[in-house]
Structure 1
Amino acid sequence: MTTSLEPVVIVGGGQSGLAAARAALSVGLRPVVLEAGVEPVGSWPGYYDSLTLFSPARYSSLPGMAFDGGDPDRYPTRDEVAAYLRRYAGRIDAEIRTGARVAAVLPRPGGGYLVHTDGGDEIATAGIIAASGSFSNPYVPVLPGRDAYPGEVRHVAHYRRPEPYAGKRVLVVGAGNSAVQVAYELAPHATVTLATRAPIQFLPQRIRGRDLHHWLRVTGADLLPRAVLNRLVRHAAVLDAGVYRDAITSGLLARREMFTAFTTDGVIWADGTHEAVDAVLFATGYRPNLDYLAPLGALDDGMPRHVAGVSTTHRGLVYLGLEFQRSFSSNTLRGVGRDASHVVAALSGGESGGSRRRQLMRRSPVRR
């Protein structure tokens, strides 16, 4: 048993967890980052090989460190982002424990929490920042006939490159950026159909010679709350310089209304027709990976109960990196820093102000 200043425990060492650690340090708290993976880069190394950011490097950095290393108007690759996060982690004076998967967070007698890891550690803390993201919890809808279908069914979280699908008939389910990007990459190798519940909407990547993210910043649209965004964009919208829309209009990519069921060799489309297919890739999003909070009763069917990232069920519990947590850019590199400052302020301040900060900083045991 060792004794230490009581830490603020941050669950997750990706972009959200690192932004949270920096924000916590800036107000005098001592963060301990618990990252399940082997390095503090979050889910980035696990994305498909060709992934690039949809925002230029100049708009894709965390607070305090620009995204350097080349043309600021380039769209950084998956590996560039992972390398950037490694450098960022190295510049933060915070304790980062890798290979530390959180198994459960339990209430502590007298207040605060006990954080238990798979490795057997127990950490006492008055504050939890749940920044574990959602990549490890991909969502695949349940459809009739799935058990009888012998072909490949997987989420794009497990897709890497197009070559294994050469010559196959492939369905990609989804109408967002990942669905269209993966379908477009597959098209030269396979017969590809996009299955969506509504026509795909496109947003221009560049407007008047400037990337869309320039206009999001100068107009303040990056900060619009979700309720306003829902009125402006009814469905998922794909950022496009023209190539994706052209691929659909030219017939390189087919698009059909979502199928209703699997069969023993394919799917049944909404119009009742049958088509044999070899593989189905679901680009249907993710759900927050927060099972470790279930013992607290902080979740509602796996989803956090919160307002703008601050728990409505437990004092000293905040969230970071949730989609549309406070704005359009909440779960992005360019936006998570703003949310980190917000939730850390709520964690360290609140009604009791300085006394709350002293509670988070008091001396308390960390058991190993």
Structure 2
Amino acid sequence: MTTRYDALVIGGGQSGLAATHHLRKHGLSVALLEAGPEPVGSWPHYYDSLTLFSPAKYSALPGLPFPGDPDRYPHRDEVIDYLRQYAKTLDADIHTHHRVDTVTHDGHHFTAHTDTGAGFTAPRLVAATGGFGTPRIPELTGQDLFTGNIVHAGRYRSPTEFTDRHVIVVGAGNSAVQIATELAEHATVTLASRTPVKFVPQRPLGRDMHFWFTLTGIDTAPIGYLLRRPPTAPVFDTGHYKSAIAANKPEHRPMFTTLRIDSALWPDTTTPVDTVILATGYTPNPAYLNNIGALTAAGAPRHGKGLSTTHAGLGYVGLEWQRSLSSASLRGVGRDAARLATQLRDVA
């Protein structure tokens, strides 16, 4: 059975919720299709201690302020609760436990086929599964001989499971530094990266960095879009992380040369290793669009600032650097969703 709507939104995280909000503002009927048990995206799968590096007042979706002290930095579980409440404000049909396997297009309408056997069709479709669909896992020299564990940061939950282990965290961004610093209280940790860690003060001149981003326009299009994505995202820091690395908790080294059976080799030393954690980011994976030719050969969306360049009525929300440096964040998806909903409104 296929159900008809004015618009389909695939993905029930922050991007999909924001897109649904703005499509409904234009009077369109919307089906929001979420693979998981509730419309909160990937947040329940992030590590236990995750805290936003943007204050609550900069971390809200359109139409619902983040509750509590606006200057605090919300914890992961607070974000999950907020998204649950936000979903309840949407006058839309939210279908959980509906994983979209494939999308077809007849020239006028998109049909999303789910693993439940149900189908949903509409002239508009927003792919809102974001840029974090697939962990980016680089090949490490010597990994075939290594007898320890190699895991992506997406599987990391708590430092206690690594107590007294020898751990290497690979990466130079916020997640890599946060995980490595937290782990260093429980394990022997090396932070290994191909590029230096770039620290940015969290609160220059007593105001959070996001205040200055907003004031200067860096956080929004077109300035943010023109900046493009830097090679390595900076680490927002009150001084805690920089001090920890200066104290070798964790030790920071350039990337190791190779892995051995139970160790990692640098030009000047060899270090025992039990686990390698790859904080190497993610790539978008809207594989459900493969059959309609909307993606590049590498599986990346073909789009211009979120609007598909291959299909009228198709758009994206939540991709990194879609329009600005905040496009993949709680604070930025609302702006991108508003623009895209307006562009899709008049699709025949």
Q: Same fold (TM over 0.5)?
A: yes
1:324 deviates by 0.8
Question: What is the CA–CA distance in structure 1 between the aligned matches of 2:250 and 2:344, rounded to whole Å?
Answer: 48
1:324 aligns with 2:347: no
Q: Conserved in 1, the CA contact under 8 Å of 2:2 and 2:118?
A: no
Percent identity of equivalent pairs: 51
| Number of the residue aligned with 1:161 | 158
Q: Secondary structure at the match of 2:73?
A: coil
| Number of the residue aligned with 1:285 | 281
Q: Secondary structure at the match of 1:133?
A: coil
Residues 228-270 of structure 1 deviation map (CA, whole Å, 9 limit, x = unaligned): 255xx5532100000100111122221111123322112233x
Question: What is the CA–CA distance in structure 2 between the aligned matches of 1:65 and 1:227, rounded to whole Å?
Answer: 29
Question: What is the CA–CA distance in structure 1 between the aligned matches of 2:72 and 2:180, rounded to whole Å?
Answer: 22
Question: What is the CA–CA distance in structure 1 between the aligned matches of 2:216 and 2:165, rounded to whole Å?
Answer: 45
User: AA paired with 1:38?
Assistant: P
1:98 aligns with 2:99: no
Q: Conserved in 2, the CA contact under 8 Å of 1:135 and 1:157?
A: no
1:136 deviates by 4.1
Counterpart selection for 2:201 from 199, 204, 207: 204
Residues 257-305 of structure 1 deviation map (CA, whole Å, 9 limit, x = unaligned): 1123322112233x37433201000010001121111111211101111
1:225 aligns with 2:224: yes
Counterpart selection for 1:248 from 245, 254, 269: 245
1:86 aligns with 2:58: no
User: AA paired with 1:333?
Assistant: L
1:225 deviates by 2.9
Q: Conserved in 1, the CA contact under 8 Å of 2:151 and 2:278?
A: yes
Question: What is the CA–CA distance in structure 2 between the aligned matches of 1:297 and 1:266, rounded to whole Å?
Answer: 44
Counterpart selection for 1:313 from 296, 310, 330: 310
User: AA paired with 2:37?
Assistant: V
Question: What is the CA–CA distance in structure 2 between the aligned matches of 1:325 and 1:252, rounded to whole Å?
Answer: 35
Alignment of 1:1-368 (within 5 A): 1=1, 4=4, 6-68=5-67, 70-108=68-106, 110-223=107-220, 224-230=223-229, 235-269=232-266, 271=267, 273-300=269-296, 301-349=298-346, 356=347, 359=348
| Number of the residue aligned with 1:363 | none
In structure 2, the CA distance between the partners of 1:88 and 1:263, relative to structure 1 (3 Å rule), is same
Return 5+ residue gaps in structure 1 as ranges.
350-355, 360-368
Question: What is the CA–CA distance in structure 1 between the aligned matches of 2:40 and 2:276, rounded to whole Å?
Answer: 29
Residues 311-331 of structure 1 deviation map (CA, whole Å, 9 limit, x = unaligned): 111221101100010001111
Q: Conserved in 2, the CA contact under 8 Å of 1:52 and 1:77?
A: yes
1:148 deviates by 2.0
User: How many residues align structurally?
Assistant: 345
1:166 deviates by 0.8
Q: Conserved in 1, the CA contact under 8 Å of 2:2 and 2:121?
A: no
Q: Secondary structure at the match of 2:77?
A: helix
In structure 2, the CA distance between the partners of 1:293 and 1:229, relative to structure 1 (3 Å rule), is closer
Q: Conserved in 2, the CA contact under 8 Å of 1:309 and 1:326?
A: yes
In structure 2, the CA distance between the partners of 1:205 and 1:2, relative to structure 1 (3 Å rule), is closer
User: AA paired with 1:50?
Assistant: S
4+ aligned runs moved over 3 Å, structure 1: 1-4
In structure 2, the CA distance between the partners of 1:3 and 1:235, relative to structure 1 (3 Å rule), is closer
Q: Secondary structure at the match of 2:157?
A: coil
Residues 3-51 of structure 1 deviation map (CA, whole Å, 9 limit, x = unaligned): 65x3311000000000000010111211110000000000111100000
Question: What is the CA–CA distance in structure 2 between the aligned matches of 1:234 and 1:311, rounded to whole Å?
Answer: 25
User: AA paired with 2:282?
Assistant: Y
User: AA paired with 1:89?
Assistant: A
> What is the aligned-residue RMSD (CA, Å)?
1.5
Return 5+ residue gaps in structure 2 as ranges.
none
TM-score by length of 2: 0.95
Question: What is the CA–CA distance in structure 1 between the aligned matches of 2:225 and 2:166, rounded to whole Å?
Answer: 37
Question: What is the CA–CA distance in structure 1 between the aligned matches of 2:285 and 2:17, rounded to whole Å?
Answer: 17
